[in-house]
Homo-oligomer: A and B are copies of this chain.
Amino acid sequence: MAKAKKTQLDQSTEEKIKAAAGIVFTKKGYGNARTRDIAEEAGINLALLNYYFRSKEKLFQIVMAERIEKLFGVLAPVLNDAETTLDEKLEKITENYIDMLLEHPDLPIFVLSEIRSNPEQLANRVQAPKLLKDSVFVKQLAERRSDINPLHFIINLLGMNLFPFVAKPVLQPVLGSEDFYRQMMVQRKKLIPAWMKLMLDHG
């Protein structure tokens, strides 16, 4: 059998296709993406795509699983860290999200819009319920402000972090250059935790 080299090539070509699929799916969405686009983006033959992954659908599932993990995987470790304070968690989540999203700006809109057009299949992959009920974060919040509904608080935190990326196609023209957009988001790394603390301390 062709083992050593096979594995090497496998990885290389398979990864190339996966990466290309990620780019094309994320940019166009499942329905607008053509398998030929993906093959071209990967610099390979169309048949090869079906040789490695059985179908467009299968390839999409793999890409989507990675993306969901990337978008929501940031949360769990921070929310459940017993060593950090509530304030530190707000800072950490914001910094992690904005750093990551500056690298992958259309991740949120891609994941959320695909979930919308196929909720029964995708929505359950995000195990948000646990985090929002049993996490250390929720307990810390309850101790400090038992009158604040943790769900509202988390929606605000995620909204301030994710929304500017979801709305990027609309905001970009307002801001002009890509660079100025970036500056705004970097500013928010400090601002968002401050606003969130405001909600904790007053109101």
Contact = CB atoms under 8 A, between A and B. Distances in A.
Interface of A: 27-33, 106, 109-110, 112-113, 115-117, 119, 122-124, 126, 128-129, 132, 149, 151-152, 155-156, 158-160, 162-164, 166-175, 184, 187-188, 191, 194-195, 198-199, 202-203
Nearest to A156: B160
Contacts of A199: 195, 198
Contact of A191 (B152, B162, B187): B152
Residue in A29, A128, A168, A170 whose Cβ sees the most chain B Cβ within 10 Å? A170
B174 A151 contact: yes
Contacts of A106: 116
A159 B164 contact: yes
Given A163-B166, A170-B123, A202 B191 contact: no
Contact of A163 (B33, B110, B163, B174): B163
